[in-house]
Amino acid sequence: MSSQPVTVNASPGSDTRHQLISESLKLFARYGYEGTTTRQLAKAAGANIAAIAYHFGGKEGLYKAVIEHIIEDTAPIAEPLRDALRDGIAEARGDRAALARLTAGFVSKLMHQMVGNERFRINFLLALREFSNPSEAFSILYENRIKHFHKAVTQLAAAATGGDPEAPESIMRAHAVMGQMLIFLFAKPILLARLDWDSYTPDRLDEMTKTVVTSVLLSLGLEPPPPNTQPLTPETRGRNP
């Protein structure tokens, strides 16, 4: 595959194009690129196989369009959260209580969106395939969605530990922070089996989130905020706690 991105919005109003991207996302997330045939993709979208070549130039082009769709679809969640994290770090000026509230809000928001939002969850499942077995489309996903988000988390890790945000240790700490959340997504069947649950209900998601918030805070050497303290999120940042 070429690493050049494919523009998703090339055919405004094309129901077939939109349906191919939407249904292909689900199939690629479930079976992977190699495990999904063009026949399956066309059938799921209610289109003929020739439509894939017409709209995307083939299966590879369709896959890249799906990756571009993930980047666009997650922007309203990921970008405000990333920007709020950066701004919150600057405003905290090293105040550890403020950093703890910021971290708690960030983790809580991301857990609920990543694990509790079905649309976001499917996007992430395909992204996780790229993380574990990257294709040439990985560079599109990394440059346009992952890199700057990961850098913001690295800035948080550095601010909490007094480290350099460019240092390998800070980058690895940020990676560990993200891993504490991602495991609830890609290893969901293990937790369901261990707890004898059949699903993640809203109450269970709240319980998991509290656990992850505490775990992340402790991993960064931050004291958990008092129980009645409102965590800082994109919606609450700037208000008095």
Give the number of other CB atoms < 10 A from CB of residue 170. 22
55 vs 14, higher pLDDT:
55
Kindly tell me if the per-residue pLDDT of 6 is higher than 50. Answer: no
Would the pLDDT of 10 be above 50?
no
Per the document, the length of the chain is 241
Q: What is the pLDDT of residue 7?
A: 45
Return d(Cα 46, Cα 146) in angstroms, integer: 32
Backbone angles phi, psi at 27, to 5 degrees: -70, -45
Contact 71, 144 (CB under 8 A): yes
Neighbouring C-beta atoms of residue 109, cutoff 10 Å:
21
Say how far apart CA 35 and CA 4 lie, in whole Å. 23
**For the segment 130-151, what is each residue's pLDDT rounded down to a tens digit?**
999 999 999 999 999 999 999 9
Residue-level pLDDT at 240: 36
Structure tokens at 191: 């937790």
Instruction: Give pLDDT tens digits for 147-185.
Output: 999 999 999 999 999 999 999 999 999 999 999 999 998
pLDDT (0 to 100) of residue 229 = 60
